[in-house]
Chains A and B, each alone.
Chain A
Amino acid sequence: MDTNKNAYWQANLRLMLGLLSIWFIVSFGFGILLFDYLNQFKFYGWKLGFWFSQQGAIYFFVLLIFIYVWQMNRLDRRFGVEEE
């Protein structure tokens, strides 16, 4: 594999792992592991942990995919590997 493609792959992996950490934190972190702790805080009419597990995590998931798409399209162009 040439160095350009290798650099593209490394950048891709960095982006992916970064976004997956957020994915893990909002769902498994806030929605499950810290569920009871966060429930002592109130967010509008919800307990915070409850909100993350039943609403917030899903909004973050959607956001994460669109950030990924946007960033990957930029990476594709920067490394000249985009489709015609």
Chain B
Amino acid sequence: MSVQLLTYVFVALSFGLYIAIAIWSRSSSTNEFYIAGGHVHPIANGAATAADWMSAASFLSMAGIIAFEGADGARYLMGWTGGYVLLALCLAPYLRKFAKFTVPDFVGDRYYSRTARLVAVVCVIFISFTYIAGQMRGVGIVFSRFLEVDINVGVFIGMAIVFFYAVMGGMKGITYTQVAQYCVLIFAYLIPAIFISIMLTDNPFPMLGFGSTMNDGSGVFLLDKLDGLTSDLGMAAFTEGSKSTIDMFFITAALMAGTAGLPHVIVRFFTVPRVRDARISAGYALIFIALLYTTAPAVAAFARINIIQNIDGIAYSEAPAWFGKWEESGLLAWMDKNEDGRIQYRGGTAFSPTTPIFAEAIGQSGQRQLLNAATASENELYIDRDIIVLAHPEIASLPNWVVALVAAGGLAAALSTAAGLLLVISSAISHDLLKMSFRPQITEQQELRIARISAALAIAIAGIFGIYPPGFVAEVVAFAFGLAAASFFPVILLGIFSTRMNKEGAIAGMMTGLIFTFSYIVYFKFIDPVSNHAENWWFGISPEGIGALGMVFNFVVSSVVSKFTPAPPQAIQDLVQSIRIPRKD
């Protein structure tokens, strides 16, 4: 069967499964809609958290980024897993004991302030929409390349599926669908990685394979070979970083604290029955996540070797079929600078601007002609990082069903994360904004209906992002983590570990962290992008890592302000004492 037909079969089967689960697990109360009734088994919650967490970025983009950046890619590997240690040790058990529905619930109650709750709601909505835009792009890439349907049709199908189980099932439907989606996505990630690991090193475990020797008879370690290849071609050696140590440090810190402060992750720990379940389910979640995250760097190294060996020096007319297909989709481009008809893959960017602008004309070898200006480097190749995971099975000539499986996995990753985010947005509107702030008199049935309507609206907005992707998606992802690190993480942490922290301190700290981080990112990304270089950054910290500095400011300002303002009421101090003790009193 062709790749396309197989992809249809795999995607249809997996979507059918998600719908069946959604029908089986409909929600009938707000409790079920927001937190799945608080009865999710820790292992199921771990798998659901992992699917919720691992988005199109983890599944599609991360290995591609590491493939091209080598050692610097570690900031994502450590940053997006290390946050779970903070979650498990510092936040999850206490938030479970607190036993409410949303993150703004905690901020609003702990700091006895509607202002604090509203600031939290605004952050939740901003962070979640930023994230969803990225998921919809992932859905679009998969649909347009593998199913060869229009991107818009693909986004509509994705919206319809998410609508079905998020609006019907709420958190309960989402949780059980996410468990299924985790199984699909991890299977789809590991199978090709195992195949490729065996092909290159004979080792069936990719996480060990990339530290093994090549099986081509040379006896050279794979990474040494890769370092040699990259250096020979005038690129940075794969295992050596080019980012400064301080920038790596701050970016990793921002990603870790941001992970621990992301509302759609935190809210998952409200769904388990007991405090001890919250602790262990963070552990299960990290095991499930680590399976993919320890495989990703192996996939990255394998992909880089395969690309260099299969492409560099090959005549365009003899390039493998996938090369032309991705060129067709515009995510890969070749400029025959020295007019020898062969593809030269070297260090440096091939042309300027760095992303291709295609002309209608076809070049001498049959390639799509470009309007970009050639650069001085010998490199002739542009590869979008997002295509590595999807293209790699084809690059390594794996069977068609593996290629189709990866497409289904990419969709599972994007849809599961989108659904979790939609639920957070809908609960922020129906619960925090209406029920708890402006319309406390609404009944539970009305609240549930509003939750469903706002979920539907959020899906529609997310769909619009997918159809008209804002050009700045990549730029604003730094926002989501930076803002979560600079706002929620310190406020929640201090709310648990300091009985003395009061609303004045928390609000001042949150505003300082937010405004500082927001301004820094907006300045370097939008107002003056030309000056976005290390020599202009504060202490050499890039906008990607500035959230960690915002977090430090938040801690300092909130501690100082709370020293000079009245202690929180006794009832609040008692609340803090009670969430520290697992047993109900």
Interface residues of A (CB under 8 A from B): 1, 5, 8-9, 12, 16, 19-20, 23, 27-28, 31-33, 35, 39, 43-47, 50-51, 53-55, 57-59, 61-62, 64-66, 68-69, 72-73, 76, 80-84
Residue in B221, B240, B249, B256 whose beta carbon sits within 8 Å of that of A45 in the complex: B221
- Nearest A residue to B71 via CB reads A50
- Nearest A residue to B281 via CB reads A69
In the complex where A32-B252, A45-B223 touch, is A62 in contact with B287 (Cβ < 8 A)? yes
Of A8, A51, A55, A57, which is in contact with the most chain B CB atoms at under 10 Å from its CB?
A55
Residue in A8, A32, A51, A57 whose beta carbon sits within 8 Å of that of B211 in the complex: A51
Beta-carbon contact of A45 and B213 below 8 Å: yes
What is the distance, in angstroms, from B538's C-beta to the closest C-beta of chain A?
19
Residue in A9, A50, A58 whose beta carbon sits within 8 Å of that of B290 in the complex: A58
Beta-carbon contact of B89 and A68 below 8 Å: yes
Beta-carbon contact of B85 and A33 below 8 Å: no
Other than the known A20-B85, A55-B207, what 11 A-B pairs have Cβ atoms closer than 8 Å?
A: A5-B577, A33-B245, A45-B211, A46-B211, A55-B297, A57-B82, A59-B290, A62-B287, A81-B582, A81-B583, A83-B275
3 interchain residue pairs of minimum CB distance: A53-B74, A45-B221, A45-B211
Beta-carbon contact of A31 and B290 below 8 Å: no
Chain A residues with CB under 8 A of B74: 31-32, 50, 53-54
Q: Does B224 contact A (CB under 8 A)?
A: yes
Q: Does B84 contact A (CB under 8 A)?
A: yes
Of B85, B88, B280, B290, which is in contact with the most chain A CB atoms at under 10 Å from its CB?
B85
In the complex where A27-B78, A72-B279, A76-B582 touch, is A65 in contact with B212 (Cβ < 8 A)? no
A51 and B211 CA atoms in complex are apart in Å by 9
What is the distance, in angstroms, from B159's C-beta to the closest C-beta of chain A?
34
Of A5, A20, A27, A65, which is in contact with the most chain B CB atoms at under 10 Å from its CB?
A65
Chain B residues with CB under 8 A of A66: 283
Q: Does B241 contact A (CB under 8 A)?
A: yes
A53 and B82 CA atoms in complex are apart in Å by 11
Residue in B211, B212, B577 whose beta carbon sits within 8 Å of that of A1 in the complex: B577
Chain A residues with CB under 8 A of B41: none
Q: Does B294 contact A (CB under 8 A)?
A: yes
30 A-B residue pairs with Cβ-Cβ distance under 8 Å, sorted by A, are A5-B577, A9-B580, A20-B85, A23-B85, A27-B256, A31-B74, A31-B252, A32-B74, A35-B241, A39-B240, A45-B221, A47-B239, A50-B223, A51-B211, A54-B77, A58-B293, A59-B290, A61-B82, A61-B290, A65-B84, A65-B85, A65-B89, A65-B279, A65-B283, A69-B280, A69-B283, A73-B276, A82-B583, A83-B584, A84-B583
Chain B residues with CB under 8 A of A55: 207, 294, 297
Residue in A28, A58, A61 whose beta carbon sits within 8 Å of that of B249 in the complex: A28
Q: Does B174 contact A (CB under 8 A)?
A: no
What is the distance, in angstroms, from A42's C-beta to the closest C-beta of chain B?
9
A84 and B78 CA atoms in complex are apart in Å by 36
Q: Which chain B residues numbered 273 to 296 have a C-beta less than 8 Å away from chain A?
A: 274-276, 279-280, 282-283, 286-287, 290, 293-294
Of A35, A61, A62, which is in contact with the most chain B CB atoms at under 10 Å from its CB?
A61
Binary contact readout B209-237 vs A (1 if CB under 8 angstroms, 0 otherwise):
01111000000011110000000000000
Chain B residues with CB under 8 A of A69: 88, 276, 279-280, 283
Binary contact readout B57-93 vs A (1 if CB under 8 angstroms, 0 otherwise):
0000000001000010110011001101100111001
- Nearest A residue to B256 via CB reads A27
- Nearest B residue to A75 via CB reads B582
Chain B residues with CB under 8 A of A39: 239-240
A26 and B293 CA atoms in complex are apart in Å by 16
A25 and B412 CA atoms in complex are apart in Å by 35
- Nearest A residue to B293 via CB reads A58
Binary contact readout B566-582 vs A (1 if CB under 8 angstroms, 0 otherwise):
00000000000100111
In the complex where A57-B78, A83-B274 touch, is A20 in contact with B89 (Cβ < 8 A)? yes
Residue in B73, B282, B283, B581 whose beta carbon sits within 8 Å of that of A5 in the complex: B581
Of B211, B223, B249, which is in contact with the most chain A CB atoms at under 10 Å from its CB?
B211
Chain B residues with CB under 8 A of A19: 85, 89
- Nearest B residue to A60 via CB reads B85
Q: Does B253 contact A (CB under 8 A)?
A: yes
Chain A residues with CB under 8 A of B239: 39, 46-47, 50
Chain B residues with CB under 8 A of A62: 283, 286-287, 290
A45 and B224 CA atoms in complex are apart in Å by 8
Q: Does B133 contact A (CB under 8 A)?
A: no
Q: Does B541 contact A (CB under 8 A)?
A: no
Beta-carbon contact of B78 and A31 below 8 Å: yes
Beta-carbon contact of B286 and A65 below 8 Å: yes
- Nearest B residue to A9 via CB reads B580
Residue in B85, B248, B580, B583 whose beta carbon sits within 8 Å of that of A32 in the complex: B248
Chain B residues with CB under 8 A of A31: 74, 78, 252
In the complex where A28-B249, A44-B211, A54-B77 touch, is A61 in contact with B85 (Cβ < 8 A)? yes
- Nearest A residue to B80 via CB reads A58
A59 and B85 CA atoms in complex are apart in Å by 11
Chain B residues with CB under 8 A of A45: 210-213, 221-224
Chain A residues with CB under 8 A of B66: 54
A39 and B210 CA atoms in complex are apart in Å by 16
Chain B residues with CB under 8 A of A81: 581-583
Chain A residues with CB under 8 A of B252: 27-28, 31-32
Chain B residues with CB under 8 A of A54: 66, 71, 73-74, 77, 297
- Nearest A residue to B274 via CB reads A83
Of B93, B275, B282, B583, which is in contact with the most chain A CB atoms at under 10 Å from its CB?
B583
What is the distance, in angstroms, from A7's C-beta to the closest C-beta of chain B?
12
Chain A residues with CB under 8 A of B240: 39
Residue in B78, B223, B294, B584 whose beta carbon sits within 8 Å of that of A53 in the complex: B78
Residue in A12, A16, A32, A58 whose beta carbon sits within 8 Å of that of B245 in the complex: A32
In the complex where A5-B577, A5-B581 touch, is A58 in contact with B213 (Cβ < 8 A)? no
